[in-house]
Amino acid sequence: MDYKFINTEYLESISGGDHEITLELVNMFREQSGEIYNEMKSKLSDRNFIFLGQLAHKAKSSAAIMGMNELATMLKTFELQAKEGKESELYESYISKFKSDTDAALIELEDFLNKS
């Protein structure tokens, strides 16, 4: 499988090549990405932009650990805009991209775990 969303070299470097650590990181990512997505949808409908910015910050860290630099960069933009309440018309598209990219990353991560 050609990995378009995750960076396996980075993931292996932070886990020291230890399969158990990698598995733990992936499980944490799986759990956090689902929770973050649900909270983002809720905070968007509440128009709680400050908290939405905090969630984008948390999501950025999770994406970065998986080597998802493009998503992490987008989440940084989202974080800054949300904390200032600017360009709120873009927030839903940011949340959708977060969901689609993390879903795709989880498929890649499952493949990667099965091969290592």
The predicted-structure confidence for 73-87, as pLDDT tens digits, reads as follows 999 999 999 999 999
What is the arithmetic mean of pLDDT over 106-110? 97
**pLDDT of 116 strictly over 80:** no
0.75 exceeded by the pTM?
A: yes
pLDDT of residue 1: 87
pLDDT of residue 44: 97
Task: Determine the Cα–Cα distance for residues 10 and 45; give it in Å rounded to an integer.
Answer: 35
Sign of CA dihedral 97, 48, 78, 4: negative
The string of pLDDT tens digits covering residues 22-68 is 999 999 999 999 999 999 999 999 999 999 999 999 999 999 999 99
Listed residue (80, 72, 114) closest to 97, CA to CA = 72
